[in-house]
Structure 1
């Protein structure tokens, strides 16, 4: 049974979804602009052997906004959340920023992480290797009269398909807008710019690296280097997928994750 709830974590009220079941716990972490509910298809595909719990990070979804969005802020939030629910060690599935957060958690808090699934989270996030590490959403509309108009205005800023972002759209008294704060999301992305190689190489747990070869965010050459340099890492490139393999081919993505989880020893 899917349950939406909140946890008090380091002075913040963080939302999460427990997709139910009694299987091995899997902690799912979204990327920038994301929501916990994006992991519903994966949770359904992994049930009943795995219990997926998806956290909405600070400033995202229905979690509290915060005074800071440094990578270490997110890191300690997640560590405290896992400890608070008594979940560890968990398998961590993370997308984009959530992938970076996952492998940093494994490096900094190894007792909490049993294995990693990193979907499109790069070990290096800076120019020139990554041409556009920050998506500036500050010019995006704060309100629009309809959801369709919000989509139109966002896509007018050069976004080919606003569907991912509209998962965080809600209707308020003065129109449709986003749950996230535009300025905070730029601040958070800018804070993630940097060299994360030490953290990627800083853990020894089994890892699955999932990549969309058509990704505009993460070069295939970097992903292959990440897999080659970290022992115990399996690379799966999903043809026809971009930066969101879980959306572009949910069946293949879930199959890759399920196959990897099947290789883990029983805790």
Structure 2
């Protein structure tokens, strides 16, 4: 995750929260709004994240004619936390989300980390639903990672205590975690369970190269050169084996959308502006 403060716009889209049922799981999402006939960018966050993470991007893209909607994936944000967190479980959720917010037609699908794998795996299975891919800082070959947060307090007596704790762990001002903080009767807590996250991260481990290459839609692959999650060699391999993939690298870590939010939005806007049949606005407006 990012360890430096976000450079997000001072005013960001708040969006309208909605809920829907995917099987027996109640899922939450945030629709950041736009024109009723605007093309849709559906967004999937990474482990420990939530839909709110994409508010700055939505604010940047709305004047360019795009509507951004982001899912709280199972076990995250305001969605249910069922026992199951395997690949097919996430993909069923993402499929139902895209069907709901995309009206049955193809959307542009963005995913960060966990969400990036979910995005390219859904594109491989439902080519009719995904017209373009944006994958942020994740590989096609996922190595095991050390669990994060297992020793974190379950609740903090005040927001100040929570912020001080994040500061002590190197996450001062990191909206990636701040977006999941909320107040309960027990104190301030995060809307995720680190033990559940550890199981989900383990289920993500594997070689998904077959899924990565199975779709043929235009793809933007974004990489943080200082990322802990994926190295330059894997990014280069992914671009080489999948035609139609454009790579943009940034001088930052794993959460490009937080660490360099303006540059991130500009790269996404440029890619979207070049898609056939979509609005062509000046990406420099970001």
Structure 1 pair 252–24 and aligned structure 2 pair: CA distance change class (3 A): same
**Corresponding residue for residue 165 of structure 1:** 177
Matches within 5 A, 1:189-228: 189-228=201-240
**Corresponding residue for residue 138 of structure 2:** 121
2:38 corresponds to 1:32: no
Larger RCO, structures 1/2 (Cα 8 Å, 6+ apart): 2
TM-score, structure 1 normalization: 0.92
**Corresponding residue for residue 7 of structure 1:** 20
**Corresponding residue for residue 3 of structure 2:** none
**Corresponding residue for residue 75 of structure 2:** 59
Tell whether the 8 Å contact from 2:42 to 2:68 is kept in structure 1 after alignment: yes
Matches within 5 A, 1:45-56: 45-48=60-63, 49-56=65-72
Structure 1 stretches of 4+ with a deviation exceeding 3 A read 151-156
**Distance in 2 of aligned mates of 1:126 and 1:218:** 9
Matches within 5 A, 1:89-168: 89-126=106-143, 133-154=145-166, 156=168, 159-161=169-171, 163=174, 164-168=176-180
Tell whether the 8 Å contact from 2:16 to 2:32 is kept in structure 1 after alignment: yes
Match of residue 253, structure 1, among 264, 267, 273? 264
Secondary structure of 1:205's counterpart equals: coil
Match of residue 263, structure 1, among 249, 253, 274? 274
Tell whether the 8 Å contact from 1:42 to 1:250 is kept in structure 2 after alignment: yes
Tell whether the 8 Å contact from 1:141 to 1:150 is kept in structure 2 after alignment: no
Which has the higher mean CA deviation after the structures are superposed, 39-48 or 82-91? 82-91
Structure 1 pair 151–210 and aligned structure 2 pair: CA distance change class (3 A): same
Cα-Cα RMSD: 1.6
**Distance in 2 of aligned mates of 1:47 and 1:177:** 31
Q: How far 1:66 moved relative to its partner?
A: 0.7
**Distance in 1 of aligned mates of 2:225 and 2:100:** 37
Tell whether the 8 Å contact from 1:94 to 1:101 is kept in structure 2 after alignment: yes
TM-score, structure 2 normalization: 0.86
Which has the higher mean CA deviation after the structures are superposed, 75-84 or 162-171? 162-171
**Distance in 1 of aligned mates of 2:254 and 2:160:** 24
Secondary structure of 2:257's counterpart equals: helix
Tell whether the 8 Å contact from 1:21 to 1:50 is kept in structure 2 after alignment: yes
Tell whether the 8 Å contact from 1:10 to 1:80 is kept in structure 2 after alignment: no
- State the number of aligned residues: 259
Stretches of structure 2 that go unaligned for 5 or more consecutive residues are: 1-12, 279-286
Q: How far 1:24 moved relative to its partner?
A: 0.6
Stretches of structure 1 that go unaligned for 5 or more consecutive residues are: 128-132
Tell whether the 8 Å contact from 1:141 to 1:154 is kept in structure 2 after alignment: no
Match of residue 44, structure 1, among 36, 43, 59? 59
Tell whether the 8 Å contact from 2:57 to 2:261 is kept in structure 1 after alignment: yes
Tell whether the 8 Å contact from 1:15 to 1:62 is kept in structure 2 after alignment: yes
**Corresponding residue for residue 91 of structure 2:** 75
